[in-house]
Amino acid sequence: MLNISHNSIDRDTILKDQSSYQQVINTRLTKSIIYVLLGLSITGLIVLFLPWTQNIRSRGKLTTLQPQDREQMINSMIDGRVEKWFVREGQLIQSGDTIVFISEMKSEYLDPQLIDRAKNQSDAKRASVEAYQQKADALAQQVQALRKNQTLKIKQAENYLQQSQLKVTSDSIEFETALVNLDIAQKQVDRQEILYKEGLKSLTDLEMRRQKYQEAVNKKVYAENMWLASKNELLNAEINLNNITNEFAEKIAKAQSDRMSALSMSLEAESQYQKLVNQLSNYSQRSGFYYITAPQSGFMTKALVTGIGATIKEGEPVFSFIPADYELAVEIYVRPLDLPLIREGNEVRLQFDGWPALVFRGWPNLTFGTFSGIIVAFDKAAGPDGKFRVLVAQDPNDEPWPELLRLGSGVYGIALLKNVPVWYELWRNLNGFPPDFYMDDTGGGKVDGKKLVDGSK
């Protein structure tokens, strides 16, 4: 407003009848509002410096710590037809108890004496294997006998050959002697003829010398015949030695060939016998698959194949099964952003569905109705939804989990991290920073965050 006039306006006189104006200018009420605002400001400032426990929150469900204790599907090992159920759903059964009986469907297994016939076939083939082995052993002994006879026969032939050689030598000497005697007899006859012509010897003496000469000729012919005969005997001895060597070599080779054939047939029969034994074992094992039994003590939760006469394919699930004794655990799923903060041994506060709880996320000491857990493992690869599974077990040093918990129930998990001021947590969330990454001296996480990566306390 322009200050043109020198006449002033009395606001109090004009607005004295207005209640709202009177409330505004009431000094006592204005001071109270100021005190309240000041108190709230101081309180908010104090709250900003209060400790706040950083945490990772995630949903999960109850499971078991050991894989063999989780719910499983019991499958049929063979194709069959349901003949009889021995238990009902929800019933407690012991390990090895029969649950369902199925009958055979395939035509090649319908023979009621299938196992006995297969056993007879395997026994017959085993006898065949033994017969071939005995034949091979007999042929091996025959080869040894032939080698021994060959040695003796060769020695005998060598001795005969040596005798023939000596006889040839002896006969050749006799032949040479006969030649010498024949030459002497010829010379004596010549001298007798000269003496007879000169009249110094009688005709009788000449005829006697001629007779002696003829005897020497006969002896020479006889010695030559004996020498040639001994040569023939030597050749025969050499031929006989070669014949013996070849004959026994042929016999030994044939016996060894027969032995190799017997061994080959034995190995082939052994292979067929092993196939029959394997087939017999398969038949025996298959007969044991007609009865589906409990793998361990537990509960049959749900029958997936119902009624009598229903057909089951090989590998098809028949019913679901839960073990009776198991150790509970919780699996929660965290974002990849929070995975570096997860360490085995870190504490996790758990809120189970159905159990009342009062949760103060930043002040776990004031939380009521939650239970403690310890991280025991986490996946090294993300799941289909891009999150990592974290397995949490019961803390043995804290209050035990409720006994009425059941597998598959929902869980709300709060992984406790480092203690920071409230203002720092507000500043971190406003800037979109992750919780502080920290480690203790041994590499495991601590609730109070004793050591940071950068070394700050």
pLDDT tens, position by position, 385-440? 888 888 999 888 888 888 888 888 888 887 766 666 767 667 776 766 666 654 44
Q: Report whether CATH 3.20.20.140 matches the domain 114-288.
A: no
Cα–Cα distances in Å, from 386 out to 252, 334, 335, 382?
78, 9, 7, 5
Residues of the chain with pLDDT under 50: 1, 438-457
CA angle 161, 163, 164 (to 5 degrees): 65
Residue 270: CA count within 13 A, CB half-sphere:
10
pLDDT of the residue at 415: 72
Report how far residue 287's alpha carbon sits from residue 103's, in angstroms, rounded to the nearest whole number.
Answer: 9
Strands 80-85 and 328-334: unpaired
pLDDT of the residue at 454: 33
Nearest to 366 by CA among 52, 22, 38: 52
Q: Give CATH 1.10.287.620 domain extents, the chain.
A: 114-288
Q: Which amino acid is at 13?
A: T
pLDDT of the residue at 76: 87
Q: Give CATH 2.40.50.100 domain extents, the chain.
A: 72-97+294-323
Report how far residue 403's alpha carbon sits from residue 328's, in angstroms, rounded to the nearest whole number.
Answer: 10
Strands 347-352 and 328-334: unpaired
**Do residues 291 and 29 lie in contact, with contact meaning Cβ atoms separated by under 8 Å?**
no
Q: Give CATH 2.40.30.170 domain extents, the chain.
A: 49-69+326-431
Q: Which two tokens stand for residue 122?
A: 């395997």
Order across the sheet with 92-93: list the strands.
72-75, 317-323, 298-303, 92-93
Secondary-structure breakdown of the chain: helix, strand, coil percentages, each rounded to the nearest 5: 50, 20, 30
Polymer length of the chain: 457
pTM: 0.53
Nearest to 332 by CA among 63, 65, 66, 60: 60
Question: 180-189: long-range contacts (C-beta < 8 A, 24 or more apart)?
Answer: 181/216, 181/219, 181/220, 182/213, 182/216, 182/217, 182/219, 182/220, 184/216, 185/209, 185/212, 185/213, 185/215, 185/216, 185/217, 186/213, 186/216, 188/212, 188/213, 189/213
Report how far residue 387's alpha carbon sits from residue 339's, in angstroms, rounded to the nearest whole number.
Answer: 9
Strands 410-421 and 80-85: unpaired
Residue for token pair 């006039």 = 5
DSSP state letters, 137-191? HHHHHHHHHHHHHHHHHHHHHHHHHHHHHHHHHHHHHHHHHHHHHHHHHHHHHHH
pLDDT of the residue at 359: 55
Residue for token pair 């007899």 = 185
Q: Which two tokens stand for residue 263?
A: 């061994």
Report how far residue 14's alpha carbon sits from residue 11's, in angstroms, rounded to the nearest whole number.
Answer: 5
Q: Report whether CATH 2.60.40.1930 matches the domain 49-69+326-431.
A: no
Four-residue CA torsion sign, 350, 351, 353, 355 = positive
Q: Which two tokens stand for residue 88?
A: 């009902």
Q: At residue 437, what are phi and psi to the nearest 5 degrees? A: -90, 125
CATH code for the part of the protein at 72-97+294-323: 2.40.50.100
Cα–Cα distances in Å, from 368 out to 72, 110, 331, 355, 361?
35, 65, 22, 11, 11
C-alpha 58, offset from chain centre = 39
Residue 173: CA count within 13 A, CB half-sphere:
5
